[in-house]
Structure 1
Amino acid sequence: MAQTPLIENRHDGGFLVSEARGHRSRDAATFSGAVKHLPGEVVAKKAGGTATAAAKAGNTGNGVFTLDATTPVLPSAKAGIYVVRCTIAATNSGTFRVFDPNGEVVGDIVVGQTFADQIKFAIADGATDFVVGDEFDVDVSVVSGTFVPLNPTATDGTQIAAGISFGTYDATLADVPGLVVVRDAEVNGAELIWPTGITAAQIATAEGQLVTRGIITR
């Protein structure tokens, strides 16, 4: 006797193998992107927020510090004041170290290059060289918490996997609230939803980005 097979649809959290006790693995979030998000979709944090930059009074160097005009605040940014301080002086150059609002080192930038980690800016050389201790402060506020589908070919921060959609959230017409798994969880790799056309190498990169958040693919 023929039977009609039953097909289980995706359900909230169905991709989870394990997570932290309570709801510590999940955060409330806003979903965007003009799409319908499904449980298990790998998502990225949308760049957003405002930032202002100012040179420290008494700087010796007169090079120009310029925040990116389009996305000065990247998805992983924190609200507060970033310190960009010259640590190595050089003729017509120099190296600056970037500290986040908690005082943690984000990275280094050489004069003449563009920095793009949490905040995005460039430092141009001036007529007077920078000296060790010259500094710029970047005040970041209104950091976005909006999640969109991962886009591995993007350059605006949405190429960085930041979590996994816990449920179904229809953001086709407008942003909607939801839950996202952002830390300390094991997930079933066969249940994850990736962007169309993503390569094996890009998946491996994204899985590595999730590992840094304590999200392990099994």
Structure 2
Amino acid sequence: MKITYYGHSALLVETAAANVIIDPFLSGNPNSGISPAEITVDAVLLTHAHSDHLGDAVEIAIQNDCPIFAVFELAEYCKSKGAKVVHMNIGGAQERSGIRVKYTQALHSSSITEGDSWIYGGVAAGILLTVEGKTLFHAGDTALFSDLRLIGERHAIDLAALPIGDVLTMGPDDALLAARWLRADKVIPLHYNTFPDIAQDGEEFCDRLRQEGVEGFPLKAGESVEI
């Protein structure tokens, strides 16, 4: 499993079985370094509806003729825009085309802005993606919550991708505890340095992880790690 970071919370996962992109905020992201037209995938996975996560999901899904996995309300919204969808919700799992996707709780909000209107986007979620015996946990935008420990106990997580930006999600201190609870040997920090309000030092966070016996990867856009 090769995981490439494209800034903010966007991860491209490439395997022999399938390619998947999670939270593809690319064209509006000054740090992505890639355009939606360059993405070739078999599925798009969304943690929630905010524009910095929904991003270019519909465009990518349509150009690749592939489905968007999302919580029910967000899936219905994407369907209304012309995309194929797979309806998910918290605690549920599906296996399709060699990938297994399970949605977990996340403590965050979720909505879509259209003009002056706000559309309810269902609940925010985390995603457990299992392909070829390896499991990636993308926590989405979340606060620290105690059931992260349960997620770590119930699933063998090879790599966790955790937000560290603070203000809108958990910050580095809480993310450090989340990594411990999730029992992951490897961690990628997400959701930081895209905007001034969420400026953080990814290198320092990963240094702190290493002191806990966890391998941290402060990836820049376009950089990858394999598990």
Shared fold, TM over 0.5 = no
Query: What is the TM-score with the length of structure 1 in the denominator?
Result: 0.26
Query: What is the TM-score with the length of structure 2 in the denominator?
Result: 0.25
Which is strand-richer, 1 or 2?
1
Which is helix-richer, 1 or 2?
2
Higher relative contact order (CA 8 A, sep 6+): 1
